[in-house]
A and B are shown apart, each in its own frame.
Chain A
Amino acid sequence: MKLSNRTKVVEQGEMTLAERMYLPAIVGGMATTLKHFFSKPVTIRYPEQTRYLGPIYRGQHILKKDEQGAERCTACGLCAVACPAEAISMVAEERKKGEEKLYREEKYAKVYEINMLRCIFCGLCEEACPKEAIFLRHDQMVPVFSSRDEVIYGKDKLVEKMDQRYLREGWK
């Protein structure tokens, strides 16, 4: 049975004289390599040079704050439930009086930790979040780590800094 009509029967007979002499093919091949010799290399020297990976690349996690600088996360735990690698853990805490500037909702995450060795960067936490608090940023990757102490990222590394806010294409 034919799967498609694109099958082509190739007839392989004796080689022609030019083919048996090798030399024309060798000259052609050498012309090809010489052309590439003078063409521009495609290499990107990675740590020094980076390239744009697209607006939805899933890099390092960030816990967003709102315009007033209050944390959006309400420690509902949906991200931890959604996480297939079970990389996220958190401890919830009730917001005290006077902390309205710090936390947007009445409950917040006292501890929020992501184990970067477990994380598979699938982005399901971002999908699950009802408060638009966690995102995987497209412009920054999790840096290389050399010891296990550096692997678990707490709020100190995850929460957005107000002086360098994370913006994605299409956001205000």
Chain B
Amino acid sequence: MDLFNSVFIAKASFIGVIFLITLGVAAYSTYFERKIAAFMQDRIGPDRAGPFGILQPLADAVKMFMKEDFIPANSNKWLFIMGPCLSMLTALMTSAVVPFGDTITMGDVTFDLQGIDVNIGILWVFGIVSLGVYGILIGGWASNNKYSLLGAIRAASQNISYELAMGLSIIAILMMTGSLSTKAIVEAQQNGHWNILYQPMGFIIFLICAFAECNRTPFDLPECETELIGGYHTEYSSMKLGFYLFAEYINMFISGAVMATLYFGGYDYPGIGFVTEQLGATAATLIGAGALIGKALAFVFIFMWVRWTLPRFRYDQLMGLGWSGLIPLAMFNILVTGLGVLLDQQILIGIGGVVVFIAGIVVYDQLFVKKKLA
């Protein structure tokens, strides 16, 4: 069998395109982060490099490469270099299982717009994301700096805590779909049956956990400038620092894509049947891929929006929210979803679950919590 057949080439070029899109989006996220921050603070933001400052990422990249690449004398040199590499590697690996579109036919080749359709799709995402902590942990430890170490320890415990709630919120979706494959999950949501309608509570839990997993504000305690200087990347400079920051933006984009896949119908969009009729299946698929990327970018915007709105959590509040807030809530969500699957009334039970939850909290509040005086 010829290994370099046309399917292989098509797949390889697709993966290359996804790679480039991811890197491009991550580079321009830095620009839009600054722009959005500026607009939310009634400023203009970077506008010197090129029209509206759109060459700013290029200038930043040049700056990053030109700076001195410093390795502290007492650091563990190899681990110090390995940290950012690992962060970058794991950040880029996650996108492999995100289905960017339906099958596409070019000439006599038909292939999926997806890196690999493994039957453990969503577990792959979880596995890679948990490996991503190693990049931060190793980098922080190898720096031989107490602030870096504190940041790394925070990152590790935070990611472990929020992975639990994240996994539990996914279980509800798995119960509905019956498959771990991301492709199957998206296909079950086609024609407007988006999971957000069935799983509003699960989505909120997943969103909050995604913030924590990406180390974004309000959960950016690992790099917490006010307490830990720069957190795990205190000792890093030049492009090694750039890789850490880059990995964060890639993670944001990919987690947006994963959220769109799991809760917002993936590459589904209104009027897909009409487009297929008018322009053909290939165009419909490509627009679908655009829709998925658009949804992911919308999530990236929400990430930034929240960053410039909310202050940072205190560490005990962070742990409290994760362990005694989100995990019980996710378990409750699993119960509600199970009931919905059992009675075949998923939307009704899903909304009912939210209502019951809020009612329960109000009743608890009325009965057991001390009131304000006067």
Contact = CB atoms under 8 A, between A and B. Distances in A.
Contact of B372 (A14, A30, A37): A14
Contacts of A39: 42
Contacts of A30: 305-306, 309
A33 B308 contact: yes
Contacts of B342: none
A34 interface: yes
A16 B44 CA distance: 38
Nearest to A38: B39
Contact of A14 (B308, B362, B370): B370
A6 interface: no
Interface stretch (A41-49, A117-125, A164-172): A41-49
Contacts of A14: 369-372
Contacts of B305: 30, 33-34, 37
B318 to A, nearest CB: 12
Chain B interface residue bracket vs A: 20 to 34
A17 B309 contact: no
Contact of B44 (A21, A38, A43): A43
Chain A interface size range: 20 to 34
Interface string A19-62: 00100001001101110111111110100000000000000000
A33 B40 contact: yes
Contacts of B41: 36
A98 interface: no
Contacts of A143: none
B373 interface: yes
B38 interface: yes
B43 interface: yes
Contact of B373 (A11, A17, A21, A41): A11
B177 to A, nearest CB: 28
Contact of B39 (A11, A29, A37): A37
Contacts of B370: 13-14
Contacts of A34: 40, 305
Interface of B: 36, 38-44, 47, 305-306, 308-310, 361-362, 365, 369-374
Interface of A: 11, 13-14, 16-17, 21, 26, 29-30, 32-34, 36-43, 45
23 contacts: A11-B372, A11-B373, A13-B370, A13-B372, A14-B370, A14-B371, A26-B310, A30-B306, A30-B309, A32-B309, A33-B305, A33-B308, A36-B39, A36-B40, A37-B40, A37-B305, A40-B42, A41-B39, A41-B42, A41-B43, A41-B44, A42-B42, A42-B43
